[in-house]
Structure 1
């Protein structure tokens, strides 16, 4: 039974999955991940790490982050509480969608998950306070492989939907794509 149909996104190899909760008098049940249902996107990759983030303030931006080299990871991201504007940036020079970005609204209410392939940066802006995200990663976190690009890089020209109210010092110091790739 396919409970999470996939739709390709405008970024090569990126997908959105739409889940369908089953509800009855007790409440609801929803499959968050199934390799059978997500196979077109996920392939034979293994989930090796699951992370959780809680963003307190609406307008906060986290990202744009990725891991490079042998530690590059693909990830599934799902909002389990609140609402976020989730951004994928293709940083794979050989990709047909190199330097393109695409955003998907994720919320607990819309039951979507987004698949971000290896070599793409990921970030989001919280649209509601107390937004919580669940991340399923195909590679372990390796601080030596961490990279990122500035959320406000003029070359990317991401149109964030809200004023940025909070940004970490780490994210504030991220380089532009030009500085990263030359």
Structure 2
């Protein structure tokens, strides 16, 4: 695995090293020793996945408040997504900044998302499946979110939204939490 720092404090892009042969490829997607040597979380409470029928589906932007905050590893295992993280940590150098990543079954990339970042994505293909490894169990009382189209954050989603839950469409807008510092998308 190849670990790369990103523009958001503590966020790591993870590329797999594919070993190709006539059958296809084999690659490690998790290694306790490699994660531990980098100070990354290795104990996960749950794995989850989402299936998304149509291109343009938007999920997010979600996070959990302390003491139920989550670290996640996000990977697209079928199709492709425009994955977005927003730094919600007031003490962070990248507070209220956002960054995007293209994750797909073909590129095998994953993103390590530390506690305190809101996460969301938009599908770039029909029948997209996203897998999450999450450090803490879901706690409904700690669930929080920000609107995907919040003007303070101003995320540049690549597609028109074709499907979104009522809950995700109705998160409140942020109000003057600080200076907006948008970041560029990581090249794919």
Aligned equivalent of 1:147, options 131, 136, 144: 144
In the TM superposition, what is the alpha-carbon distance from 1:35 to its structure 2 partner?
Answer: 2.1
- Residues 18-167 of structure 1: pairs in structure 2 closer than 5 A: 18-39=15-36, 43-167=40-164
In the TM superposition, what is the alpha-carbon distance from 1:45 to its structure 2 partner?
Answer: 4.3
In the TM superposition, what is the alpha-carbon distance from 1:44 to its structure 2 partner?
Answer: 4.5
C-alpha separation between the residues in 2 aligned to 1:39 and 1:175? 37
CA contact (8 A) 1:149 1:177 kept: yes
In the TM superposition, what is the alpha-carbon distance from 1:38 to its structure 2 partner?
Answer: 2.9
Report the CA distance shift for 1:101/1:40 in structure 2 as closer, same or farther (over 3 A): farther
Aligned equivalent of 2:11, options 11, 14, 20: 14
- Normalising by structure 1, we get a TM-score of 0.92
Report the CA distance shift for 1:137/1:25 in structure 2 as closer, same or farther (over 3 A): same
What root-mean-square deviation, in Å, do the aligned CA atoms of Structure 1 and Structure 2 show?
1.6
Which residues of structure 2 form unaligned runs of 5+? 179-188
C-alpha separation between the residues in 1 aligned to 2:33 and 2:168? 35
Runs of at least 4 residues off by over 6 Å = none
- Normalising by structure 2, we get a TM-score of 0.89
CA contact (8 A) 1:5 1:37 kept: no
